[in-house]
Amino acid sequence: MQLVLPNDPFPDDLRGSVVAIGNFDGLHRGHQMLLAAARAEAKAQRSKWGLVTFEPHPRNFFRPRELIFPLTPLPLKARLAGALGADFVLALAFDARLAAMEPDAFVSEVLAGRLGIAHVVTGYDFHFGHGRKGGPETMQRLGRSLGFGATIVEQVTDDSGIAPFSSSSIRDALRHGHLREAALELGYWWMIEGEVVRGDQRGRTIGFPTINIVLEKGAEPAQGIYAVRVRDVAAPPGISWHGAGYFGRRPTFDTARLYAEAFLFDFDGDLYGRTLTVSFMDFIRVDRRFDSIDDLITQMNADCNEACLRLDAIAASNPVAQFPLGKLQSQGLL
């Protein structure tokens, strides 16, 4: 799977591909229907297929002081798309020039000109171009005139047939620690990906050495303790570790910044500089301040025991193992 970064030249061997276009934050089950349509079209045309997305998220461009909670930053989005069979992910630079581009110009200059697409797949609510004036009908009309096909995927709803899959509702669920609800929309347990960095070593002093990963700006999951599964992306398939994860500001130690860390069970080694995925599979408790370090250690031992129980229960009956990404995740492949 090839990741083409903003402003990189588009490889000649990818011209003539089928593309699914959108923000795809979360790559939830609704997004996956678009990808499935693109994959099917590419198979029919015997061509490659991939995602076209935008960096930064358009809302962050227009409202930089109100950063959106990123469910899947670009590297993770690309990893998930690759797991679903995509040949490439192209990130278009969403800047002042692109924001001001009229819909006809965007399609003719970018999709038809720069990318030379053979077919495009969009959602029913995808709007583009200056003032969001372009929509599905615009894409179909321009495709006919410029020589490419267009498939519009109608609204995809949850198992009740009522609520549409929504990145916004997933963000809200994660803000409240409702991981199962978020996972059933995503089709996998929400995860973060990043390089392990050196922290302040405080966990080692109390018997809980943790891995530390820098969060993307705008991330705001519920602060507290989680049951997690951790995987080194460079490790052989199937190798992962269970652990207790944490988002918070360490109120017992009066710190200010937001930490993302995890204590791995049955692991003794050095992961500094390695890229890990951390899948958050259950929310155990909210963050709080403790009167003493001894009280904190007692609670952390209880948290680890509870995380083990929760992870064992999920392994016995995993609600997302029926979905493509959830199945790969349960096999230790994501």
**In the predicted model, what is the mean pLDDT of residues 273-296?**
94
202 pLDDT more than 70: no
The class (CATH top level) of 167-330 is: mainly beta
**In the predicted model, what is the mean pLDDT of residues 310-330?**
96
**pLDDT given at position 259:** 85
First to last CA, the chain: 15
Distance CA 203, CA 315 (A): 28
Question: Where does CATH 3.40.50.620 sit in the chain?
Answer: 2-153
pLDDT digits (tens, 9 = 90+) for 62-72: 999 999 999 99
**In the predicted model, what is the mean pLDDT of residues 212-219?**
91
DSSP sequence for 245-303: EEEE--GGGT--SPEEEEEETT--S--TT-EEEEEEEEEEEE----SSHHHHHHHHHHH
Distance CA 196, CA 211 (A): 6
Distance CA 54, CA 247 (A): 27
Question: Where does CATH 2.40.30.30 sit in the chain?
Answer: 167-330
**pLDDT given at position 253:** 73
269 pLDDT more than 90: no
**pLDDT given at position 238:** 82
**pLDDT given at position 245:** 96
Q: For domain 2-153, give the CATH number.
A: 3.40.50.620
Model confidence at 179, pLDDT cuts 50, 70, 90, reads very high
Distance CA 295, CA 300 (A): 9
**pLDDT given at position 319:** 96
**In the predicted model, what is the mean pLDDT of residues 28-51?**
97
Residue 134 in 3-state DSSP? strand
What tokens were used for 287? 């963050």
- Cα atoms found within 13 Å of the Cα of residue 11, Cβ hemisphere only: 14
Start-end of H helices in 112-215: 136-146, 167-175, 179-186, 202-205
**In the predicted model, what is the mean pLDDT of residues 167-174?**
96
